[in-house]
Each structure stands twice: as structure tokens, then as C-alpha cells.
Structure 1
């Protein structure tokens, strides 16, 4: 079970969050040629060197060399790692299914190694290929000082001094990560990842690919299909990033999604007699916990005697809503509200680690190159937080979205892949989203499907949690059917909600 008391752990890794917007030039019309940021050097990569994966010899692992900077294809190169799980029935194979689980920062190689994620027929008919995005996992990972990463200030600050400290921290972190990771740090944007994906397609000798992207992986799918529309057979976007959203829509729609997830938790507890808080005023209890957190008097119920601040408390809720883990979260609130007497800790925490430790940390490098998130200084940031709290009284913000916005404060470099209108799809696209996804707001799926045009179809899972494919057999069956024979659901199609079960119950 995920440790709910930890700030943004799996939640941040499975990202689904999106940010800002300033007016950007519209994409060039397809009828008059490709957009100016598209160049054609995508074959400037080496072959794939295959060998059995050490984790599972039935899956092939490979390395491919690609340019660090695709606009300088003869310059320095990096290795990207990929894994290929061969189709169970080669004679019936439909081709390659490229996969990406999102983050940014989650390994696509691990998804290809996971034989339980996709349905049996998909695994029988497709080679499933996962490419760790540059800077992530096994592909020239971006590494940073663990202590500096952990020293990130809470984004729920209310003073200009804290705003300046956050800017300075971001600059120090960028310098540290860039110095340790090399030039990949400045070339971790999703357009570069899409070009890596195209190089892999060429190396595999596939005329077209099918693609399944979840969470931040949906942005990769959109960018790839925009650049290479004639190379896409099928495109599934599950838990959708809206890369046309401006900063205010990004912050407000994600905060409303997080608050909606909290509201759904409260409603569930009122109807499920196994909820540990059944019959109690959860909102009043939560308000008291927030007061204690703000006063520095809230012990972490899962890690006493450490204290939780408001940011850690909200992040614990956000993380719990991903699955969702409602039963566990109800116990978490109960234990935090009435804590057991804490024995003195025998192990004092060190302010400075004895040895320098490094940690993978690609999130800000990717986000700050893919999004333009201006907040108009401290007053603009403060005013936005106040407006968000008025609409999301319990959650206040989306922790994932605010992490992205606050994490880009003070960065001098402009994003290379900022938001822009989403062009119409060249072929059929299946867009999927939970109605009560805490991370990728349901309106994002509606907005993306609308901009993709009549070739796109939105399938709504009427339940809860992030990445609908793994929460609903109805959704997974519809996705599998589309991948196998390109049959899209009917307009307005929905899948019924599936009530969460207690932890450990199948």
C-alpha cells in the first residue's frame, strides 16, 4: 500500500497535470506544409542492439543511440533503452503497440515488461514496445542531489520572501541536475521524445505503429501523431493532458478535479458501512487537521513524530484518490485526527546526509520545457492560490499542477514546446477519461476530443481514479477492441462506475 503520509510519490510519477498558457503562434496549416518547428532528421539514429531483458528473458531489451539535440543530428548522442514483448502469435500479429505510462518520469520499459497490464488478445496480436523517454529510467536518466530535491519549499507559500526562495531553489536545482546529467537536461521536451519514438519505428522497420499513452503519455501520443500523422494506425489517449490549456484553466480545472475527488470520497463514506469515518463530519475533521497542520501540530500518523504541513496533508489525499484508496484514506484521517501517544524516537533524523545521494528527477526538466506557466510575480501567484481555495475548499489546489507551476518559477530558459491549439486528427483516435479523475481533469478530455475533431471519440468512465483502462473491464474491453480492429465506441459512450474494494480484496 502506498504510504499516504508521503508527499506526491506515485501521484507525481503518474502525473497527469498541466499547466499554463501565453498566446503562442498557431500551427501552420497542413495544406501549406509542416509547422516550422518540424525538421526531418529523424533517421539520424543508430540500429537497435537487442538482448534478453535481465528481468524477463521472454522480453527483448535494446539500446539505440539518438542525437541529444535533434536539430543538430551529427552532434553528441545518448542511449535510449527500449523493451519489446513479442506478440504471442506471430502469424496473427497486427504490428507494434508503442506504450508510455506517463509521469513525466515513469518507465515505459517497465510497462512493456508487465504482462498483466494489457488484455490477452492484445498481447497475442501485438509486439508491445516501451521506450524509456530520454532523461527517464534507463535512458540517460536525469539525476539530482537527493538533499536538494527534498529541500523543495512547499508551493503553498504566502509571502514574497518564500516566492523568492522558491525561485532560487529552482535555479540551484536546475544547475545541479544539469551539471550531473549533461546536455540531455536541456533536451528532455516531449517533441524530442517523439522524434526518438520515430527513430525507433524506423529501426523496427514498421510502416505504422499503434500507440497507447496514459497520463503524461497522452501528450507524447498527441505530439507524435501531429508530427507523423501517416505513421499512426491507432491512438489511445487515456487520462488526457490538454496541451492547449492556459495557466488559469490549467490550475482551476485541476483544482476542481482534485476537489471533486474529495467530494466523491465523502459521498462514498456516507453510503459504505465499512468506511472508518461513517456517520462523522469528514469536512469538519479535515478542517481541524488543516488547522493543526498550519500550526505545526499535526504528527504524521504513519511516520511519527514527524509533522505534516498543509502541503503534505493535501498531497496525501491527492495520492489516495489515484486508485482510489478510500478505505485506507479514511483510516489515515481517523488516525491523524486522534493520534496515539508517540514514543520518543530513538533515531534522530540528520539535517545533512553523511553521504551524497543522487535521485532520478526528470519532472521539472520535462514540464518546464513543455509548458509556459507565467504567474505575474508573487502577487499573481498569491491571488491565484486564493481564488483556487475558494473553489476547492478542502483540497485548495491540485498538488500535481501546483508542483509544476511552482517548479518552473525562476527558470530563465523559455519552453521549447509550449502549449498551442491541438490540430485535428488525421485518423481515428480513442480518448478515455474517468469522470472523477483527480489528476487529469475530465474537461481536459472533452476539450482535447473536441479539438481533435470528428475522427476522435471520447469514452467516459463514470467512476473514479486515474488511468481508466486499469479500473474498468468495460473500458479495457473497448480499448482492446479499438486496438484490434479499429472499432470506436459510439458517440457519447460511457462505462459504469465500479465501486472500490478494501485493500487486499480482489
Structure 2
């Protein structure tokens, strides 16, 4: 859907919902690039990539914020560049490269510049270029504090395979629709086999198109790209703000280049020590907990929640009825259980989404599917024309390149049954979500999971009500790195910065002055 027609503050609510959820046989990152833009001059011509190791060649690109939001932020300048990186860092002199796109946003009131702050929103598959644009609009719209933009160039980048950076594209829009619409918890063997067959078709198609390139889209390869970006922007050490999957990318960088780190903020922690199955179960647990928090909110604020009498019953009943009698939607689709589930996930990434969910389920009961389909399409980044960006293609390529522990089809079927009992709404869909990597044809390139020996203190931020990266991951990531320091937000939704003055003060003090937050600091929800 066109971003420019939506208020900036609404866009930021979506931007900060930033991690992978797997469901219905398709991976569902929370934030996607528009997919149509490239790093460009004002006329839209792609920026030329510099050679590996060279300084970035910046050109004005005000067209990007104009397309995303309708305008640039007051007092900000926008420039873009593209940096060539080896396709395979194990063979850096092969001559084969990918182009990694960046945007540099600089405040006209900047003084006493510290350097660049590289930003990654997660996904994997989210556009750091888009995210940097949204965050450039400042605290009034939920963006970065002026204290940060006055000291740093804000540099967003699309990792290899994402958005404007040699994008992966191997899933058709028709297959995307089919995957989202599919039963998230197929009980009969025949229905399970149909969902599995769709996953295999998608995986085979990506393998046929990209073949030996598939392992090159791994997190470790992208982390090595970050060091090339650090050199290209002229920084001797890296300052980095990573959300959600961006915490995994940042943690991998810290292990590979610990002495090149200046300051890393990792918000919404992924635990690299968890297996693929353990990570999926953690998300199932996190979303069940978030849904429980939603139901409690409904009961306490019935005026805002028309399904407050029985929120869980209303949602599960809507999904059950959709199995046999889905509500028709105006564009020809039907609000199947799969689409309802995607809308449910979309609403739980931010506390502000709870009101929309309650209203959408209430309307669905009366035969109106618009609310739930709007939530689903917002999350899926599906345009009114039925097209998708490359978010899901890139997400699949990265996730599957990263894991060499994908369960067998038989194990997925077993976990589907077990997790349905433990996590009634989210368990079975999260088990099904592992199928794409089960069928993935490419070789694997797992990320490291160890100490960042030699790195300075790293701040790891966790939210107690986070559905996608459960709070328990926060201390685990900090401990794994060895130099991690936990900062807690006692709030709801996915990621914390810049949500409250307490979090902002702690993070800004670290990024600007390298002052590590007080040990054990817990920031209140409001």
C-alpha cells in the first residue's frame, strides 16, 4: 500500500514492529521495504556502486522520503550511495559482487559530529533505508531524538538481498497470497500435505533461480558487509542501532569485529544460542503471553474493546468459522483462518494495535472483513493491486541460509500437535512455519554464537511484553556476548527505543557519551 498516504506516526508504529514470525508455511517479517525505489538521484537514476573498500560516493536522493512519506523531514538532508561487496567473503577476490544500498540523513543543525549511526530494523528483510527515513522525523512522530541527529549522521542500509541491495525475488504474488490464506493449523493429513506442497514449490523455485548463491544471503555474510559500510562512511569504529533480527546481525558483527565496535544498541534480542526449533517455540510462547495481555486489557477497558466479554473466545471462534465459511472481502479474497491469523499477529506487535484488533474481530462477526484484512495487508505489505515487495523472499533466503537445524516434515507434524496443546493459538502455526527451511535447497551458513572478546560494553534492550523476541532473550544475548548490559522496558509490544523518556535517556547517554546504563535499570511502561 502506498506509504505516502499514511501519517508518519502511523508508519513508525509499523517500522518498530520488526522481527520474523513464521506461520502458515511462509515467513512473515513485520516490516518491508517498498521495493520500488533504488538509491537514486532526484531523477530516480540508480546510484553507482563504489568498488570494495572505497569511500561511498553520495548523491542527493530526496525522492526516497518523498515517495515513502510525501516529504522530507524539516532540517534534514538525504543522500544515497551504493557499495560493492564480495558475494562470498570467503572468496573476496572472485570479482563477483553485490551492491549494498545506503541512505545518509544529516541534520542541518548538526554540530560536534561523532560519526555515523548505522541502523537495521530487523526482519530479516526490513529496509534500513526506509526505517532511517521514518526515524528522521524526530521525537514528535516517534522518531530519533534531536540529541542523536545533532551528533550523528543517520545511515540506513538495506542488507544484501533486501529492497534496493541486489534484491532476492523468487516467490510469485499468487503463491504469497496462497501461503497467507492457507490454514495456519491444518489438522487433517490431506490439508497438511497441501500446505507442505506449497512450501516445497516456493523453496524449489528459489533454488532454481539462485542455486549456489543461496548461502551468500546469510547473516554472517551481511555482518561482514557492515564492516565494509563502516569503512565506506569513513568511521574508524562502528556505532550501530539494531532492532529485532538486527540484534542478531549486530551480535554477529561484534563477534567477527570486536575491536571495530564503538557502541552497539541491540533492541529486541534474538538469542543466537537457541536452535531453530527452540527459537520458534520461544516466539509461540511470547505471542501467547502478548495475547493474554491483550485479553486482560480488553477486560479492563471494555469501552475500547467490543469483544471484552470473551476476547479469546471471539478470536478462536472467528478462526474456526473461517475454516468452513470465510467472510468475503471486497477485492475477491476471503478472510480465511490464515488471513485472520496474520491480522492477529499484526495487531500484537504494538499496544496501539489492540484497539484495531478488537474492532476488526467484532466487525468480522457481523460479516465485515475490512478491518482484519487491513491489519493483515499492513503486516504483509500487500498492495491493493495484490503485489508484494521482496521482503518475504529475502526473509526466507536469510533464515534458511542461517539454519542447519531445520526439522524434518515428520518432526514438524509432531511439534504442531505438541505445541497446539501448550500454546493454543500460536503453537501449531509456529511449528508449521519451519517447513520452508525444511525444504530449502541451498547450502547453509550458520551464524556464530559466542563471546565478543575485545568488544566494549554493548547495551541489550528488552521489553517485558515483547511477543516476537521474548524478554528472556535479553539476558541470554547479553551473557553470550560477555560484554552485554541489560536495559529493561516494562512495556508492551516489540522493541523499546525510543518509547519513553527513561529508555531514551539511557540509550542516548550510551550512544553519545558511551555511558553504560545503570546495571539492572528497569524503565516503567509510561
Structures share fold, TM-score greater than 0.5: yes
1:222 corresponds to which of 251, 270, 295: 251
Asked whether the equivalents of residues 211 and 442 of structure 2 are also in contact (C-alpha less than 8 Å), the reply is: no
Candidates 488, 492, 495, aligned match of 2:520: 492
Instruction: Report the counterpart of residue 48 of structure 1 in structure 2.
Output: 56
Aligned residues: 452
Is structure 2 residue 395 aligned with structure 1 residue 391?
no
Shift of 1:263: 0.6
* Partner SS, residue 426 of structure 2: coil
Residues of 2 paired with 1:390 and 1:309: CA distance?
22
Q: Does structure 1 residue 483 correspond to structure 2 residue 511? A: yes
Note the C-alpha offset of 1:394: 3.5
Residue deviations 1:213-248, cap 9 Å, x none? 001111110011111001111110011111111234
Please name the residue that 1:127 is paired with.
153
Partner of 1:15: 19
Counterpart pick for 2:295 among 266, 284, 298: 266
Report the CA distance shift for 1:327/1:90 in structure 2 as closer, same or farther (over 3 A).
Answer: closer
Task: Rate the CA distance shift 1:268–1:285 in 2: closer, same or farther, 3 A.
Answer: same
- TM-aligned CA distance change 1:271 to 1:356, over 3 Å: closer
Which of 57, 65, 83 is 2:84 aligned to? 65
Of Structure 1 and Structure 2, the greater helix share is in: 2
Superposition pairs of residues 79-158 of structure 1, within 5 angstroms: 79-86=99-106, 88=108, 91-114=111-134, 115-116=136-137, 117-144=143-170, 145-152=172-179, 153-158=182-187
Compute the displacement of 1:461 (Å): 1.2
Deviation at 1:172, TM superposition (A): 3.4
The answer for unaligned runs of 5 or more in structure 1 is 4-8, 20-42, 343-354, 499-506
- Equivalent positions of 1:352-431 (< 5 A) are 359-360=389-390, 361-378=393-410, 380-397=411-428, 401-402=430-431, 404-418=433-447, 420-421=449-450, 423=452, 426-431=455-460
* C-alpha contact 1:87 1:124 (8 A) present in aligned 2: yes
Q: Secondary structure at the match of 1:393?
A: coil
- The normalised TM-score by structure 2 is 0.77
Quote the offset at 1:407 in angstroms.
1.9
Matches within 5 A, 1:232-381: 232-277=261-306, 279-294=308-323, 296-299=324-327, 303=330, 306-324=333-351, 325-339=353-367, 359-360=389-390, 361-378=393-410, 380-381=411-412
| Gaps in structure 2 of 5+ consecutive residues | 7-12, 24-50, 64-71, 138-142, 371-384
Change (3 A) 1:51 1:254: same
Distance 1:60 1:317 in 2: 37
Do the aligned partners of residues 403 and 205 (structure 1) sit closer, same or farther apart at CA in structure 2, a change above 3 Å counting? farther
- Could you report, residue by residue, the CA deviation over 1:102-151 in whole angstroms, capped at 9, with x for unpaired residues? 11111111223231221101000011112210111111111132223333
The 1:285/1:419 distance shift into structure 2, 3 A limit, reads farther
Q: Which has the larger radius of gyration?
A: 1
Residues 463 and 317 of structure 1, relative CA distance in 2, 3 Å threshold: same
Q: Hey, what's the Cα distance between the residues in 1 that align with 2:301 and 2:264?
A: 38
Alpha carbons of 1:213 and 1:368: their partners in 2 closer, same or farther (altered >3 Å)? Answer: same
User: Who is 1:463 aligned against?
Assistant: 491
Report the more deviating stretch, 214-223 or 137-146: 137-146
Q: Is the 8 A contact 1:388 1:396 kept in 2?
A: yes
Shift of 1:368: 0.2
1:18, CA displacement in angstroms? 8.6
Residues 199-218 of structure 1: pairs in structure 2 closer than 5 A = 199-218=228-247
1:443 aligns with 2:451: no
1:337-363, Cα deviation, whole Å (9 max, x unpaired): 233699xxxxxxxxxxxx997741211
**Whole-Å Cα distance in 1 between the matches of residues 205 and 280 of structure 2?**
28
How much has 1:60 moved relative to structure 2?
A: 1.4
In structure 1, C-alpha distance between the alignment counterparts of 2:226 and 2:326, rounded to whole Å: 46
CA RMSD after TM alignment: 3.2
The question of whether the paired residues in 2 share the 8 Å contact of 1:243 and 1:422 is answered with no
| Preserved CA contact (<8 Å) 2:207 2:441 | no
